[in-house]
């Protein structure tokens, strides 16, 4: 998506740098929330998405600005999705239903949700390096279509 600058796939023994559970490898994403190089001027990007079996609506954007020494990064994203579309009615394996049983026709109940996130970061850059910090927040609320006794 729009906030990812690059993706790195780490395999073999180097993956163990990320913990003992990473024996199969690691997919590492870099987001430039702490700018590592000088930024001149103002740059930005954004995206909007819609569709899918759950009618997903999502948006994301980022803004980066700098004067050649100080660099600032801002990003935000949001996503909302409805109950998943399914053929027929949602049925429970524990409670047999007939065709006239009550139930949500064409949707899997409690499979909807939403998520919001964003970050701000900044850095001071010089010829041989940089120093910076960032803050990010992520909030999600989503359903679980599990059976009642699960």
Rounded percentage of the chain residues whose pLDDT exceeds 70: 89
3-state secondary structure of 18: helix
Residue 123 pLDDT exceeds 90: yes
CA–CA dist 63, 111 (Å, integer) = 32
Place of tokens 């079996």: 53
CA–CA dist 90, 93 (Å, integer) = 10
C-alpha closest to that of 62 among 72, 52, 51, 70: 72
**pLDDT tens digit sequence for 16-69:** 888 888 888 999 999 999 999 999 999 999 999 999 888 999 999 999 999 999
């Amino acid at each position: 998506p729009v906030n990812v600058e690059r993706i790195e796939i780490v395999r073999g023994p180097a993956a163990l740098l990320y913990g003992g559970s990473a024996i199969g490898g690691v997919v590492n994403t870099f987001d430039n929330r702490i700018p590592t190089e000088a930024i001149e001027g103002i740059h930005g990007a954004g995206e909007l998405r819609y569709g899918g079996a759950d009618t997903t609506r999502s948006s994301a954007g980022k803004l980066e600005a700098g004067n050649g020494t100080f660099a600032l990064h801002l990003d935000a994203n949001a996503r909302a999705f409805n109950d998943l579309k399914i053929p027929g009615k949602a049925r429970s394996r524990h409670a047999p239903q007939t065709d006239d049983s009550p139930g949500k026709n064409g949707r899997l109940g409690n499979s909807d949700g939403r998520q919001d996130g964003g970050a701000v970061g900044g850095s001071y850059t010089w010829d041989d390096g940089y120093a910076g910090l960032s803050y990010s927040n992520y909030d999600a609320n989503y359903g679980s279509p599990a059976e009642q006794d699960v």
